[in-house]
Amino acid sequence: MKKYRIQISLVVVMLYCIGLWEAMTGVMQLIGLTQNLHDSYNITGSFYNSGPYACCLALIFPFALHDVNSSHNKFQKLAGWVMVLLCAILIPATMSRTAIIACCIGGIIAISDKWSLKRLGWIKLLIIGVSCVTIAGGIYFIKKNSADGRFLMWKVAAQTAIEVPMTGVGWANVAGTYGEAQEEYFASGNGTEQEIMVADAPEYVFNLYFQVAIAYGPAVAIMIVALIIGGFIIAIRNNNYGFAGCIAAMATVMFASYPLQSPLFVVAIALILIGGWLSSPSSIIGLTATAIIIVMTCLFLTHSETRDIRNGFAVAHSLHRSRNYRKSNTLLLDLLPHTADPMVLNIIGKNYRALGMCDSAEYYLQQSVNRCPNRLYPHYLLMQLYGDSTCLNPSAQQREARILLDMNEKIPSPAVDEMRMEAQSILKRNK
């Protein structure tokens, strides 16, 4: 590690710059001096969501904790104290379960060079183990439905990763591919009642390993896992517990979040991996791994473009409202491979209904039903479709009306009440 003292020092400085900048930005947002980038969250840093923001801080927290505990450099120790204290304030404020778990795992590893497992004894180790399990269980039950939704995503994403081509489907197509896979999963009748209730239309699969496997193929995902494991082992073997803790926190974040959606996050991950591999006493190993990480990072940053789904959908929806149904569908069908959002399918179905193309309308609305079975709106649209003179199917209309009345809505609203009133009137007319 002495061979790369300058390089590692540079990596440390860059990590602290990222961490302290994001932490100070979060503090400014917390006290109201600056605005965040999303109205739904109090703290987002330079991110659009508090979850990835907290996870970014969690990556650097273990190294800062290690510096507080072990560094002999006064400036590095001071930076560590500042970072640790800011993380202790900001991360709990975001309520990010993934970030909290990552801090715990990474922090324990980062200061483990001061511990002796034999000295602790089996009773203390048992208490630590039970405490960790209890905390994990508590974190799960705080947002049980959210956690169950994430388990469903991992289940579907894992199956999708197995079935994609070896070269993947491309970064921009992951959401659309996942949406189709979830649609097939529920259409096959495999979904449980709880899975149906928590199903959603995610932009990301909340597991970077599956996301990369779907986007670029399983081989690339395996390479990333190998870089993580290798960097961790080398850091531990060469007593670089600070970077080992960061790598452990990073691996945790990558398992349950979507860090690669931010270029800053990508850079932070690359720096942590480089720091771990540069701990190697071998020049060949350290420099080769560093080169691979830099090349992969640059390739990803230049080939990870995504479609602007929101603006594209807004334009298509506007065309639908102005009755330009064919042009609206042209745009929506182009967006469909890049999104899991069933609203795209809903508007496509509505456009085909307006054009008198009943079979096409029914096809896309049924896709929407299968994609997110807990949503009432696709059933409402089908009920309306089957009531049209050109698509008349009274028995199917009554079936959809009964479904509307029997389903439990996730979020009560006046719109749901109106849909159910219309369903009740249809059933009364056909008694």
- 350 or 94, greater pLDDT: 350
Q: What is the mean pLDDT of residues 236-262?
A: 90
Query: What's residue 118's pLDDT?
Result: 47
Rounded to whole angstroms, the Cα distance separating 106 from 236 reads: 12
Q: What is the mean pLDDT of residues 242-258?
A: 92
Cβ contacts of residue 317 below 8 Å, gap of 6+? Answer: 328, 347
Q: Which two tokens stand for residue 108?
A: 């324990």
pLDDT at 293: 95
118 vs 233: which has the higher pLDDT: 233
Closest-CA residue to 63 (of 245, 274, 266): 245
Instruction: Identify the band that residue 347 occupies on the pLDDT scale cut at 50, 70 and 90.
Output: very high
Q: Which amino acid is at 278?
A: L
Residue 358 confidence (pLDDT) above 70: yes
- pLDDT band of 5, cuts 50, 70, 90: low
Residue 372 pLDDT: 93
Mean pLDDT of 10-35: 89
- The answer to whether 140 touches 147, Cβ cutoff 8 Å, is yes
Q: Give me the amino acid identity at 411.
A: I
Q: What are the tens digits of pLDDT across the range 149-181? A: 888 999 999 999 999 888 899 999 999 999 999
The predicted pLDDT at position 371 comes to 94
178 close to 202: Cβ distance less than 8 angstroms = yes
Position 15 confidence tier, pLDDT thresholds 50, 70, 90: very high
Comparing 137-141, 198-202, 372-376, the range with the smallest average pLDDT is: 137-141
Query: What residue ranges of the chain are covered by domains with CATH 1.25.40.10?
Result: 309-429
52-56, 235-239, 321-325, 427-431: range with highest mean pLDDT: 321-325
Write the CATH number of the domain with boundaries 309-429: 1.25.40.10
Is 282's pLDDT higher than 60? Answer: yes
What contacts 18, CB < 8 A, 6 or more positions away? 56, 60, 264, 267, 268, 271
More confident: 429 or 176? 176
Share of the chain above pLDDT 90, in %: 57
pLDDT tens sequence across 34-61 = 887 766 777 888 888 888 899 999 999 9
pLDDT of 117 strictly over 70: no
Q: How many CB atoms lie within 10 A of CB 223?
A: 15
For residues 82 and 65, what is the distance between their CA atoms, to the nearest angstrom? 10
CA distances from 312 to 29, 316, 317, 341, 345 (A): 30, 6, 9, 13, 14
pLDDT for 401: 93
Q: pLDDT (tens digit, 9 = 90+) per residue, 284-303? A: 888 899 999 999 999 999 88
Reported as a pLDDT band with limits 50, 70 and 90, residue 404 is: very high
Alpha-carbon gap, residue 386 to 397, rounded angstroms: 5
Cβ atoms 259, 269 nearer than 8 A: yes
